[in-house]
Amino acid sequence: MVITPECNHGIPGVLKNAFDHLHAERGDRLVAYGVAGGARSLDQLRVLSWVLGMADVMPQVELSLFEDFAGDGVLAVGRHVQTLRQLFDKVEGWSSALLSLRS
């Protein structure tokens, strides 16, 4: 799973560098956070993931720096619980469907 901040309306340069150099080790799930929920960085990661042959699983989880983080952890507030359930169900389904491609 990839969790990234949004930096200057996109992904951080070090994450792009990691995607370019760590072909076998990369994960296939994306979560972003930022002032606007990380939506723009997720858009960039979707394009990059497609180019690298990674599966894109929806729905995306957008975490707001102002509303969803408190202290040292992330608040699992009501608006994210259902979205996270849907995301994990989709990840499980895609993982089963793509099992033969990973070997």
Q: What is the pLDDT of residue 66?
A: 73
* Predicted local distance difference test score (pLDDT) of residue 73: 64
Q: Could you report how far apart the first and last alpha carbons of the chain are, in Å?
A: 19
Single out the residue of 48, 70, 36 nearest to residue 2, CA to CA. 48
pTM above 0.75, yes or no: no
pLDDT at 5: 81
Residue 103 in 3-state DSSP?
coil
Ranges of residues in the chain with a pLDDT under 50 are none
Q: What is the CATH number of domain 2-102?
A: 3.40.50.360
Q: Report CA torsion sign: 22, 23, 24, 27.
A: positive
